[in-house]
Structure 1
Amino acid sequence: MYGHLMDYANFQFYAYPSGTNIPQLMRYFEKQSSNSRGGKILVSFSTDGSGGLSPRNGFFTAYSMLRKQRKLHSIFIRSADDSKQPQDFLAMSNVINAK
């Protein structure tokens, strides 16, 4: 409906239940992308373990899959300050981006 007016939308994928798996995140992403009708959806995770698909459980695998499909526009990290080493997330992203 408003996709043509938005540049990016941070859909809070970390708001889904803890234990979300890769296929579920992909379905959530597809649904939210179709709801935005042209808006660019940012995939996101939280470092505080509050929910969604965590980096330990496959977030960057899903990230890589979406990137290969040319559907990924960017990511959003919620509560990066909760992490003892937030640069680790950026380092993982750089490794994936280099592939």
Structure 2
Amino acid sequence: MSTYLVTLPVDFDKEPTKDYLSELNAALASYDPRRKEGELFWTRSSDTGTHTIRLVVEADDERSAQQQAHKIANAALLDTGHTVLSARIDDRFIDARPWTA
């Protein structure tokens, strides 16, 4: 089992507020294998409006890391009131890289 940093692009139907993004960050942190809440990051592209979530996951390989991160992000989005109709992860651009603290 290895640790990966996974990047997931997320498009929201409506621009999320800073308060919502803080709630999402807390929801994502609850899944962090390092148990380090508040150390997850999101960014927003000013060109496309796409938000990028970065998650740390433990998996056997890059593909498994991508799949696990996708499930975690979907769960956190659902936990904070979004569905696939209001927030979508673009599977084509999920990236997983080996990561060390």
Higher strand share: 2
Higher helix share: 1
TM-score (norm 2): 0.34
TM-score (norm 1): 0.34
Higher relative contact order (CA 8 A, sep 6+): 2
